[in-house]
Structure 1
């Protein structure tokens, strides 16, 4: 229970930082300087007013100095990241791989929000995720004595990157190059988790994307030429695959008369 609470607190703190990332990275601004300030009056936010979730509640969603409204998205991102971190802990468990998948959860929140807002997956987040994932997953494999998992991760990254690159090359307007770059990162994590996760996560992204797009098309809120961000669907599918891949694979194998250990 203490570990769950600790991970939740860390997640909320990371969520506070992600709010800065989501706001500044698309604008090409530094995420470390200057300190956060009210967009209304420009006054630097005091440390006591910068406590995740709690400060927003105590200030009733208003700037202490000018009374300007503070978006409710900030505490939602903070609390949501905390809950997501706890969910990852429950799925991955206390293992050497936990830091790697917590990192995946953090960038998933940032990239999904940015893609929804500006229809872009910034290289400043995606590209550094390759070496970070390689180091964290490589360490998890070495410390856990499972070198085959790291080999699967490399194969998964190459396979998913290649698939998305072909789709982008055949139909450039169907997805962005940022989706291709993100696919390689997700392939690392899905491949490390298992072949079933790689297959389910890769397929599920298109299912989630279709479920998101169809209501928008039917309601007239989007047309056939409307650009609908695909990054969030990829990220949701990858995280969901960690949970559903094994039971789905077992169900499918039993359906065709095979066993998971065959």
Structure 2
């Protein structure tokens, strides 16, 4: 157990800093989640539900013009009926900042607890907020936006390459790169076999998952991949049991791919 000169548990301090980072970055995601949550083929949203302009990508999903009283009594009453009085008062049109901040904080804290002070933690903390954002968007509209998936894959490989140059890292950049290619190729085969069951966005997201899992080796890659499919199967089975879906109902797989990668990284970091 490492301690600072003041006697503070360094591992605990790292977890707390990671949680604060997650809370701060997660609170910035609602607006991006709202703007990206459109069906495939449609342009990204640039207006709130009442057609006021939405500027920027980071911040709360809250319309200042709606909150300023530029809405009719009927519109506000309808909002209260659907979202409750508080949502109507604050003119919130997407996810609450608090909910995404909490989720991202928990994810970052767990990654910090597993990784400790090793340099790859910085990479995990940078990738976690976009991962949460992708999961939220895919759950809402079954779409994984290219402006997020492709840069994320490149960033993961590049950042892990830089981390490999830093002393005391616990992974291998070569297996991270090969893992990205292998998992991406595997998902591509699944997409070609059954395009209705596997979207091409999942293929691109698999590049990132393969890189972060491959950093800790092939066993971690296989564990994280299996975990993602297992979670997806449980979710699909639960929908079938609840009669909320049929055997041919498509489900968003991105959140389970991300969750599997998250669990795999935790296991790999603990074992490293």
4, 10, 31: which one aligns with 2:21: 10
The residue number in structure 1 matching 2:213 is 190
Does the CA-based 8 Å contact 1:202-1:237 persist in structure 2? yes
* Cα offset, 1:245, TM superposition: 5.3
Runs of 4+ in 1 over 4 A off after TM superposition: 33-37, 68-72, 145-148
Show the counterpart of 1:67: 89
Query: Which is helix-richer, 1 or 2?
Result: 1
- Where does the alignment leave 5 or more consecutive residues of structure 2 unmatched? 1-11, 39-43, 47-54, 69-83
Counterparts of 1:86-235 in structure 2 under 5 Å? Answer: 86-144=109-167, 149-235=172-258
SS at match of 1:174: coil
DSSP 3-state at the match of 2:89: coil
State the shift of 1:131 in Å.
2.2
**Relative to 1, partners in 2 of residues 1:10 and 1:241: Cα closer, same or farther, differing over 3 Å?**
same
- CA–CA distance in structure 2, aligned partners of residues 114 and 237 of structure 1: 17
Aligned length: 231
Q: Which has the higher contact order (CA 8 A, sep 6+)?
A: 2
Whole-Å Cα distance in 2 between the matches of residues 229 and 100 of structure 1?
26
Q: Distance in 2 between matches of 1:35 and 1:161?
A: 32
Contact 1:111 1:121 in 2 (8 A): yes
Are the structure 2 counterparts of residues 148 and 3 from structure 1 closer, same or farther at C-alpha, using a change threshold of 3 Å? closer
Structure 2 CA distance for partners of 1:240 and 1:61, relative to 1, 3 Å: farther
CA separation in 1, counterparts of 2:215 and 2:57?
36
User: Does structure 1 conserve the Cα–Cα contact (< 8 Å) formed by 2:175 and 2:217?
Assistant: yes
TM-score by length of 1: 0.78
Q: Mean Cα displacement is larger for which, 197-206 or 26-35? A: 26-35
Determine whether 1:25 maps to 2:36.
yes
2:265 maps to 242
Q: RMSD value over aligned CA atoms?
A: 2.9
Unaligned stretches of 5+ in structure 1?
45-59, 251-262
Given that residues 202 and 254 in structure 2 are in contact (C-alpha distance below 8 angstroms), is that contact kept between their aligned partners in structure 1?
yes
Query: Can you list the C-alpha shifts for 1:135-172, whole angstroms capped at 9, x where unaligned?
Result: 21011101137797110011101110111000110111
Q: 1:72 to 1:120 in 2, by over 3 A?
A: closer
